[in-house]
Amino acid sequence: MRYGEGIYLFGDSDFLVIRFIENPGMAFGFEFGGIAGKLALSVFRLLASGAIVCALWKLVKTKAPKGLITCVALILAGAVGNILDSMFYGLMFDKGEGVVSYSGLAKLTEFGSGYAPFLQGNVVDMISFSIFPPIFNIADAAISVGVIWIILFQRKYFPKEEKQIEVEEESLDSDVTEEFTAEVE
């Protein structure tokens, strides 16, 4: 596909379009400024992915709910997918007919002679819905679904915290009642 070209999955309707674009920033096209911002984003992605791996390992070892483990695994998979794109895509492809945007086909080049150095490449985004303006990729969708699912089912995934709070509140209530009763007698 040429840059910006789309495949309309429902005839002429733009409800769902597979469109080739490159995203130099974060999910849904959000960017930090320049090379320093891109490097900061790449370092953040790497550190966050390491932390997610540790969290996932701990969840598996403690036999956390399978739904929570699945959500964290989705978030990790999406993060790793975007990291791999930013690490290697710029090393493997040139920009065709331009530097920032182009109208031609991106061309596979000799590894290391692409348009961007290590960790400076763009992420390929391709999914576009008419009801949701940003163009995103499967990695972004995996991260979003994982986070939203955790938020929706947080009471199911983290029940001990709520029960502990209830037990502490009951304990405080009974302590106050006992003190009040002792003072009245």
Residue ranges of alpha helices (H) inside 62-125 are 66-84, 90-92
Q: Are 24 and 31 in contact (CB under 8 A)?
A: yes
**Residue 182 φ/ψ, nearest 5 degrees:** -65, -40
First and final CA of the chain: distance in angstroms?
85
**Buried (b) or exposed (e) across 154-174, using 16+ Cβ within 10 A?**
eeebeeeeeeeeeeeeeeeee
- Comparing CA positions, the residue from 113, 102, 117, 45 lying closest to residue 76 is 45
Rounded to an integer, what distance in angstroms lies between the CA atom of residue 101 and that of residue 28?
Answer: 17
3-state secondary structure of 17: strand
Residues designated catalytic: 125, 140
